Structure 1
Amino acid sequence: MMMALKYIAYTIALAGVFSVTGCKKFVDINTDPNNPTTAQLSLLLPATEVSMAANMYQLNSGTATFMQYTVFSSGLSRLQQQGTSFNDSWDGFYTQTLNDLESIIRTGTAQEQWGYVAIAKLEKAYLVSLMVDMWGDIPYSQSQKGQETVSPPFEKGADIYEDLLKMIDEAAVDAGKISATTLVPATSDLLYSGLKSSWLMMANSLKLKLYNQIRLVNPARSTAAIQALIADPATLIGGTANSNALDFTFRFGPGQNPNNRHPWHRSEYQGSKTFYMSQSLIDLLFNSDDPRLRYYIIRQNATAGLNNSANSNGYYGRNPGDGTAAPADLNRRSTFGIYPAGGLYDNAPVNNIPATNQFLTNTNATGTLKVVGPTDGTGAGIMPMITNAMVKFIRAEAALTLNTGDDARQAFKDGITAHLNAVSTYAAANGGIALSATTIADFAAGQLVKYDAANNAGKLELVMTQKYIAQYGNGMEAYNDYRRTGLPALRTPLSPLNTFPLRLYYSETELTANTSLGDDASRLQVAQQTTPVFWDK
């Protein structure tokens, strides 16, 4: 399925650009095919954005399993990795996304197409930093040299981070060479329609994320850098208005032929199923009176429960680390809801909701449940990469741990509010029901009561727990946060086969083909499970 999604994604991106630009400039006999043109850059850039999101499927689903959002495979749920666990993402990033980004940077620089160069550098900085976060040491500076270096050496993650921080600044300088408000034509940029101001906000927010990520390595450096970034909040995603409009988010489409829907929708809204929902997340949201449960998870059956019982409330998932075989339950297990996969909103009555609940209730719950199929929901889901809510939670964490001078309480409130608004707005536009402004305000106020009553450690736990809930749909960032903070508390797996992984296994294709590793490949792979990345102190 993953390879099909990759090629479909490329087809959609390229077809969209061809339909806008027309064919004339691609068959002009006066165009030298050995001299890349701006038109070719306009095709490559959206292709990199599509391939980046498509290649995240395996990576996102696997880390979401570690972080108990969902269960992608029994092995990963039991913390057992293999050389094939993340090879699709690894191979796709290197052979598709990074290869094309390097082409844009090289060609764009030669042609002085600085808008393309700036965006490509920012996308590369984001993606490579994420790869360091996931795998630690990776091929980097020699990895896109084709036949010149077929076995690029692995480089230290800390050194790569330093280069990426410089790259972000270089990208801002490149963007400054463009006097217009757009860096590239809107049709060439699926993320921000080419808007320079949006990409500069993304650049600053990425730096904020990276400096917070490395705060345990050099607290003084991170403190100074974060203080400089928050000195002008208008330059960060969300700005001063706490707006979600400029979230760094990939948006999938609603099409079925070809299919460009969210990969979780493609996988689960059919007769077969790959995933279980994690009972840990279900219970966290249910027991916390969190209204997002109806948006995150859709029940197919009103009474199905854990272990395929028939006397529960329909929230039928699987406990982390459950190694038992899957029963005949495809039409009973819960699955992805309207957010972020573009599925269905659960508006049916729920058994056993406490009478004291204020937000997760059966008020106006008049819907009915059904076994989901390909025509249910839009499938036009999202991949949240850096969001306004995330920025606010990062600011709260940094204020509590680095004493940046920021208002941690306000940032905590703004993060909760931002995410509830994001879920509500998305749902209302995709066949669901919006949360009322009163519900959003009251839910945030309730969390502030807990925050005010907590000590500093308790405040950080509340911040990271709410950030964890808000990052549903992006297991990679939750995985980063957990290794850095140990929060939120995860459920103990039932029958683990290994310790919690501190890094991901490398692609077995890489370990087999890369001769620079010598005889160390097997040892290197085994060490990934227990070796922390450089920022995990």
Structure 2
Amino acid sequence: MKNILKITLLSAIVAFFVSCETGELELLVSPNDVTIDNADPNFVLNDIQITFNGIVGGYSGTSRQITRQVNLFGTYNNAVDGNTLSLATGPWAQSYQMFSNIDLLDGINEAQAETGGIPYHLGMAQVIEAYAYMLLVDYVGDVPFSEANNPSEFPNPNVDPGETIYAAQLELLDAAIANFNLGNNTTGVRIPEDLYYETFDASKWIALANTLKIRANLNTGNASGINAALSGNIIDNNDEDFQFSYSATDSPESRHPFFTSSYLAAGAGQRMSNNLYDLMNVGSADGLFVENGTVDPRARYYFYRQTSSDPSGSDLPCEANFSAYDYCYVGNLYWGRDHADDEGLPNDGFKRTVYGVYPGGGAFDDDSFIESRANTATLNGAGIRPIYLASYTHFALAEAALTLGTSGSASNYLELGIRRSMDKVRGFADGLDSGDFAMTNADIDAYVSRVLSEYNSANNAGKLEIIAREHFIAAWGNGTEPYNLYRRTAGPDLQAPIIPAGPFPRSFRYPSTEIDGNPNIQQQGPNTRVFWDTNSANLD
């Protein structure tokens, strides 16, 4: 691992979120500092794991809006500007703080080398570091890397090319796998606390490392890299899913953000996306504007309808200007909004459709239509953040087989992706879905049959669209993978903004705090593409 900051200086910032800048860390020397001599590797690693979950959540929230998982209110610039990544608790600052803690962990491992070191701890941290750096490149492009977190030598770090950073992370993943294998062959190595897989299992972290290689090589269009990764263990079964689990504990608040925003606040916060409703065929013949469709078996798990009434009057401001809308209301009691709809904000917090049981630990929709903050049966927020699931792997491999000619059958991977997603969602409900509305094997088989029939009759462009659509639907609750998918494939075919929303952000802007503090970084516009985004399509 590269030494981008001396270990003796790193000790001042372990587990403290003290800086927004990669080049402006105030490092203090204190007799109470955590150092490589007194630091508990579990303490440091736990902070790294928790920080990474926050990093993913920071990216995902905005990405879910711009990719139509939930409603984007107004223009793209409202969601993605110089302030989006600027907060001290945002993905940019948290990433660089976390990298410093990973370097500390590396130092602890070196100091304990004679007694076997902490290869498992370091391997986990290296996988997380590689993932976090690839996310920085995916979102921003060229970022500080070789000069990062070294203020004494590089007070204003320059950026490195995204392509260079990606290549370095693939090497880091190999180093992580080597550490896991070392731990497996060393007696008495400490077992880390694992906040993602609950019980540490080196084989699952190796599977994640290999899967991240697939993810990176798919972005860059490298078929040989994908085929090479397939020779090792990958995330291809749901018990290998990389996810962060929340609890039902409210003191301290440890429940899923979807739950706290939908079931505890004074009125649900986020409005859902009519476009996603449409992709899941939730429209009803007796609804206002959408033709009848077959409802996706996951719909009752993804969404919870609070009311048995259709929106009308002030609760349906789009109706007065219906010609400007693609949906306005999709019917079947699903209250949502069209993409970029910035009409008035009715007081419908106790009526609009909210997050369901998956993945936020809310309620299963069994047609009870109880306001979500009433005595609705829920998982009380014991949800998950789905970061990289087995279903994503299979959809990625389906896309790669179709577009790059990699090993395997695209249609087989597509089917596996759908089935992994269905099984994941159904198994998550923990009994809340008992009764007539629960997903059945027949429901899953019928859905798969329809999709494969559609796929087999489509040309290659149509096949890619179907893979992208199914990947998008299965990624509910994760904004990072749909954002990459949309830029990489221009799919699925999503609703255009219903107002002039400006250009779709092909990358995020550098944090304004970084621009203000570092003259070596110049701000970029929304049309700037990251190095692997070679798609010529004009995205809406």
Q: Shorter-chain TM-score: which interval?
A: 0.7 to 0.9
Match of 2:405 among 396, 403, 417: 403
What is the deviation of 1:131? 1.4
Match of 1:246 among 218, 234, 240: 240
Distance 1:139 1:477 in 2: 23
Distance 1:184 1:441 in 2: 45
What is the deviation of 1:480? 0.3
TM-score, normalised via structure 2 length: 0.81
**What residue is the counterpart of 1:85 in the other structure?**
84
Q: Does 1:314 align with 2:333?
A: yes
**What residue is the counterpart of 1:164 in the other structure?**
169
Distance 1:130 1:95 in 2: 12
The 8 Å contact of residues 235 and 389 in structure 2, kept in 1 or not, is answered as yes
Which amino acid letter does the alignment assign opposite residue 408 of structure 1?
Answer: A
The 8 Å contact of residues 305 and 317 in structure 1, kept in 2 or not, is answered as no
Which amino acid letter does the alignment assign opposite residue 425 of structure 2?
Answer: V
**What residue is the counterpart of 2:21 in the other structure?**
none
Match of 1:329 among 348, 361, 364: 348
> What are the Cα deviations for residues 105-149 of structure 1, in whole angstroms up to 9, with x where unaligned?
233233232221111111100111011101111112222335543
> What are the Cα deviations for residues 311-368 of structure 1, in whole angstroms up to 9, with x where unaligned?
95321111111122312211121111111111111110xxxxxxxxxxxxxxxxxx34
**What residue is the counterpart of 1:227 in the other structure?**
227
Match of 1:534 among 520, 531, 535: 531
Distance 1:177 1:223 in 2: 29
Q: For the structure 1 residues 271 and 304, does the alpha-carbon distance in structure 2 shift closer, same or farther, using more than 3 Å as the test?
A: farther
Match of 1:293 among 299, 302, 318: 299
What is the deviation of 1:430? 6.2
Which amino acid letter does the alignment assign opposite residue 107 of structure 2?
Answer: R
Distance 2:472 2:144 in 1: 30
What is the deviation of 1:371? 3.6
**What residue is the counterpart of 1:355 in the other structure?**
none
**What residue is the counterpart of 2:203 in the other structure?**
197
**What residue is the counterpart of 2:512 in the other structure?**
508
TM-score, normalised via structure 1 length: 0.81
Query: What are the ranges of 5 or more consecutive residues in structure 2 without an aligned counterpart?
Result: 1-14, 17-31, 283-292, 320-328, 535-540
After superposition, residues 462-473 of structure 1 pair within 5 angstroms as 462-473=466-477
- Structure 2 counterpart SS, 1:398: helix
**What residue is the counterpart of 1:393 in the other structure?**
395
**What residue is the counterpart of 1:42 in the other structure?**
42
Distance 1:207 1:472 in 2: 22
What is the deviation of 1:181? 9.9
Q: For the structure 1 residues 164 and 328, does the alpha-carbon distance in structure 2 shift closer, same or farther, using more than 3 Å as the test?
A: same
What is the deviation of 1:281? 0.8
Distance 1:374 1:67 in 2: 33
Distance 2:336 2:187 in 1: 48
Which has the higher mean CA deviation after the structures are superposed, 495-504 or 422-431? 422-431
**What residue is the counterpart of 1:71 in the other structure?**
71
| Alignment length (residue pairs) | 471
Q: For the structure 1 residues 536 and 257, does the alpha-carbon distance in structure 2 shift closer, same or farther, using more than 3 Å as the test?
A: same
**What residue is the counterpart of 1:185 in the other structure?**
191
What is the deviation of 1:189? 4.6
Which has the higher mean CA deviation after the structures are superposed, 420-429 or 265-274? 265-274
Distance 2:134 2:40 in 1: 27
Q: For the structure 1 residues 535 and 182, does the alpha-carbon distance in structure 2 shift closer, same or farther, using more than 3 Å as the test?
A: farther
Which amino acid letter does the alignment assign opposite residue 308 of structure 2?
Answer: A
Q: For the structure 1 residues 193 and 268, does the alpha-carbon distance in structure 2 shift closer, same or farther, using more than 3 Å as the test?
A: same
The 8 Å contact of residues 344 and 432 in structure 1, kept in 2 or not, is answered as no
Distance 2:260 2:357 in 1: 13
Distance 2:201 2:515 in 1: 40
Match of 1:455 among 449, 459, 476: 459
Match of 2:119 among 107, 114, 130: 114
Distance 2:431 2:80 in 1: 38
- Structure 2 counterpart SS, 1:385: strand
Distance 2:382 2:73 in 1: 24
**What residue is the counterpart of 2:538 in the other structure?**
none
After superposition, residues 423-434 of structure 1 pair within 5 angstroms as 423-428=425-430, 434=438
Query: What are the ranges of 5 or more consecutive residues in structure 1 without an aligned counterpart?
Result: 1-9, 12-30, 216-221, 349-366
Distance 2:427 2:339 in 1: 31
> What are the Cα deviations for residues 246-276 of structure 1, in whole angstroms up to 9, with x where unaligned?
1111111111111111122222322144311
The 8 Å contact of residues 71 and 277 in structure 1, kept in 2 or not, is answered as yes
Match of 2:310 among 304, 308, 319: 304
The 8 Å contact of residues 250 and 384 in structure 1, kept in 2 or not, is answered as yes
- Structure 2 counterpart SS, 1:441: helix
The 8 Å contact of residues 121 and 192 in structure 2, kept in 1 or not, is answered as no
Distance 1:322 1:189 in 2: 38
What is the deviation of 1:92? 4.1
Distance 2:35 2:125 in 1: 21
Q: Does 1:277 align with 2:279?
A: no
Match of 1:237 among 235, 238, 244: 235
**What residue is the counterpart of 1:412 in the other structure?**
414
The 8 Å contact of residues 304 and 333 in structure 1, kept in 2 or not, is answered as no
What is the deviation of 1:180? 5.7
Distance 2:419 2:491 in 1: 21
**What residue is the counterpart of 1:134 in the other structure?**
139
- Structure 1 counterpart SS, 2:43: helix
What is the deviation of 1:79? 6.4
Which amino acid letter does the alignment assign opposite residue 409 of structure 1?
Answer: S
**What residue is the counterpart of 2:440 in the other structure?**
436
Q: For the structure 1 residues 79 and 398, does the alpha-carbon distance in structure 2 shift closer, same or farther, using more than 3 Å as the test?
A: farther
**Percent identity at matched positions?**
28
- Structure with greater helix percent: 1
The 8 Å contact of residues 115 and 174 in structure 1, kept in 2 or not, is answered as yes
**What residue is the counterpart of 2:383 in the other structure?**
381
What is the deviation of 1:205? 0.7
> What are the Cα deviations for residues 352-402 of structure 1, in whole angstroms up to 9, with x where unaligned?
xxxxxxxxxxxxxxx343243698542111111221111111111111011
Which amino acid letter does the alignment assign opposite residue 48 of structure 1?
Answer: I
Distance 2:356 2:508 in 1: 28
**What residue is the counterpart of 1:445 in the other structure?**
449
The 8 Å contact of residues 142 and 153 in structure 1, kept in 2 or not, is answered as yes
- Structure 2 counterpart SS, 1:143: coil
What is the deviation of 1:467? 0.4
**What residue is the counterpart of 2:60 in the other structure?**
60
The 8 Å contact of residues 186 and 194 in structure 1, kept in 2 or not, is answered as yes
What is the deviation of 1:440? 1.8
